[in-house]
Structure 1
Amino acid sequence: MNKKVLYIGGFELPDKNAAAQRVIANAKILHEICEEVVLAGVGKDQGQVEFLSEPQSFDGILYYNVKYPKGYKAWLHYITTIEYIIKLIDKHAITHVIAYNYPGFALYRLHNICKKKGVKLLSDCTEWYEATGSPIRRIIKKIDVSLRMNTVQPKLDGLMVISDFLFDFYKDKVDNIINVPPLVDLSMKKWDIEVVANKENAINLIYAGSPGAGQKDRLDLIIEALQRILKDTNLKIIFTVIGITKEQYKANFNIKDDCFTAIDSFVNFKGRLTHLEVLSQVKASDYQVFVRDENLTTSAGFPTKYVEAISCGTPVLTNSAGSIVNFYEQGKTGFLLDNSSLDNLVISFKEILTKEIDIQSMKAYCKNSKMFDISNFKNQFIKFLEKA
């Protein structure tokens, strides 16, 4: 296809956050079917450099970084500016721009510019967060999100969404729309990394992600449920938590100091690790574990941690929130947890962890399913661009 695509957004390239994982995977499909693909993300280590004039490369794909906004003034500038995007459109003779969860004010301006230049503007929409922060920041953010979700995106040349919730919201508003979960490139060596087999007589559970203050993942409920199970059974459980430190967990979930004595006996907080280290830890575990309350944030999104666990060959214990059920097979890719109450969560955990399960067969099934590999979605991307 003689199309040149610019993919823009708040992703930390090449692989520093979940957003970057999604964009890189999508970009690899685009790289295969388009004449050129250019990425423009953000960098937290760029010092005072607002825009890098020279691109870098990852797996043959060019990418630029702009300075990550720090402070109110920088954030306000980021959600309104599009000057660097215009420079890249002109420099690379771009025909299509894909905006990843782009700020509404900037997206509105970009839509007008793209119409004048004859450039197709599409959106990759993966979230619908409630506004947080100071009162002024919440007001601005709420207006910006509403502008993006309700006004600008329905007017674009195409919309890529990550969940059934977003697809149902836009299907009657947008003619050109596709539903694409987070994807992975299974040809990369990191998915076949060798790990040391678990020789301990313990059930190894892992959480790898960013729970926030409970608005996404209820890490506090998991730990409390496991704590109860350990009191009532002879099970030995090791729960590894990646992405958050013990101090952050304590602050985010308002945990008292006297609760940590029991927690320390089975929970290992590792904080942030490299992506390769995370995958290695996940692959070595028996199950990835997370539970989510039903709300706007969890309904609109799709957990990257689920995709990466299955792709690593690790089954998942989770509840049925969001679009996971489309890619879930009971007893094969994992087991569903009942998080309607803490008591029910304890019961469902106990039923799973105390019965005889051939975990190696489940791991092999997950690994061989390849359900999130980029090769399965190539035709969708071709039709998406052709229709724009």
Structure 2
Amino acid sequence: MNKGRKLVAYVGPYSFPDGGAAARRIYGNCLSLRSAGYDVVVSSGQLADSQEEMFNGIPVVSLNERRHEHLPTLLKHLMYFSAGKNTISWLDSLERKPDAIILYSGYSPYLIRLLPWARKNNVKLIFDVVEWYDPPNWLSRFMSPYFLNIELAMRFFIKKCDGLIVISEYLKKYYAHQVKNIIKVPPTANLACGDVVERDSSDNAVKFVYAGTPGKKDALSSIILAILRAGASGQNVELHIAGVSRNNLGDFIPVSGFSQSEIDKVIKCHGILSHRDTISLVRSSDYSIILRPNIRSVQAGFPTKFVESMAVGTPVIANLTSDLGVYLKDGVNGLICPNFDVESLVKVIARSVDLAQDQIMRKRAKETADVYFSPDNYSEEFIKLIG
């Protein structure tokens, strides 16, 4: 590291570099920071045999904060309030203290420890705000240790930080009156994917892809049903799913009246894939589909899969949640589903089949990613944030 450059430490309980969308978010921001002229070190909470390693030129320190993951859920959540101690010990041990700390996740346990440490050591503390989970019910908001921890952080502790990186306009508006130093940075992608893949016109099936771990955010059941209905109407379509095995597919297929042979013809499960293989699947598809309900966690977050699909030149079909309306332009780089329901998606799928040969849409998708989702585009924002 260059002692003439400011040092930024990215800390939190996440795994890195193999930590899913969280790790890719952090890596993208690290690239932005390095482009802005900062030295960066990532402090991960993951369990690891070796404490220090390098990932693409970024020092990674594993602090074993996540040692309670094997415990029952309630006990694990209670023990989580001890998280952050190893991070403080590591920071104390550093001969060269960081000029700024960026905390990703961790929430109240980390903030309770980092806020006074940062003040004592004259270090800027910045929180990377990327989501706001919805408790399953009102009682969980106050009685669940997990959701109580998050609500305390979102409504109180985060507002005491020196600055924020927010992933969406929803979060920016929420914190704008309490925190002056805020930048909005969507997920970024550095996939080095080269030219847009030309569609193979000899393959008649129009290929749609869903990639991810289904939860409350993604309406995978609705996507599957819409594709099945499109197939039943005579359209030659396939839905390729990364993240769900064939054995678990039944959990996402509502009672629909489709035979197993009809399902197998249209729905292709690839199971859990590596990120590289997932990106390859997305890149070889005609469209990605993202269908999400209008709930707080969806409006506060931003789908990484949208960014990565655009980055490899695969147009996206989605309903407009979060900030997607800023980037997704109907008929230009994807298609907009006007409502969050199966019937609307069936109609958009029918329209998309006619447009599947449109190579211009694929090029526009890639251009969208180059303009909005390249890490280099946010270097100046990080300079404003950190100084």
TM-score normalised over the length of structure 1: 0.88
Tell me which amino acid in the other structure corresponds to 2:292. R
Output aligned runs, 1:264-303, within 5 Å. Answer: 264-303=264-303
Q: Which residue number corresponds to residue 43 of structure 1? A: 46
Counterpart residue type for residue 384 of structure 2: K
Corresponding residue of 1:146: 151
- 3-state DSSP of counterpart to 2:270: strand
Partner Cα distance (2:207, 2:118) in 1? 51
1:82-112 deviation line (CA, Å, top 9, x unaligned): 2221233231422211001222132122212
**Does structure 2 conserve the Cα–Cα contact (< 8 Å) formed by 1:41 and 1:63?**
yes
- Structure 2 CA distance, aligned partners of 1:273 and 1:208? 9
Structure 2 residue 351 is matched with structure 1 residue 351? yes
Q: Which runs of 5+ in 1 are unaligned?
A: none
What does 1:92-171 align with in structure 2 at a 5 Å threshold? 92-131=96-135, 139-171=144-176
What are the residue-to-residue correspondences of 1:65-80 with 2, within 5 Å? 65-67=62-64, 68=66, 69-72=69-72, 73-80=75-82
> Any idea what SS the aligned residue of 2:309 has?
helix
In structure 2, the gaps of 5 or more residues are none
Cα distance between partner residues in 1 of 2:269 and 2:87 = 40
Residue 60 of structure 2 corresponds to residue 60 of structure 1? no
**Compared with structure 1, are the counterparts of its residues 43 and 244 closer, same or farther at alpha carbon in structure 2 (3 Å cutoff)?**
farther
Q: Which moved more, 1:30-39 or 1:114-123?
A: 30-39
Q: Is the 8 A contact 1:162 1:182 kept in 2?
A: yes
Shift of 1:273: 0.9
Asked if the contact 1:184–1:373 (Cα under 8 Å) also holds between the matched residues in 2, the reply is yes
**Letter of the structure 2 residue corresponding to residue 290 of structure 1:** I
Deviations 1:194-221 (A, max 9, x none): 9795341110111111222xx1010111
User: Is 1:13 the equivalent of 2:16?
Assistant: yes
Q: How does 1:328-347 map to 2 (within 5 A)?
A: 328-347=328-347
Contact 2:199–2:359 under 8 Å retained in 1: no
Contact 1:315 1:333 in 2 (8 A): yes
- Aligned amino acid, residue 23 of structure 1: I
Identity percentage of aligned residues: 29
- Indicate the residue corresponding to 1:378 in structure 2: 379
TM-align CA RMSD: 2.6
Task: Tell me what 2:194 maps to.
Answer: 192
CA distance in 2, matches of 1:84, 1:105: 12
- Measured in 2, the distance between the counterparts of 1:157 and 1:37 equals 18
Letter in 1 for 2:270: K
Aligned pairs for 1:194-273 within 5 A: 198=200, 199-212=202-215, 215-232=216-233, 234-251=234-251, 253=252, 255=254, 261=260, 262-273=262-273
- TM-score of the pair, normalised by structure 2: 0.88
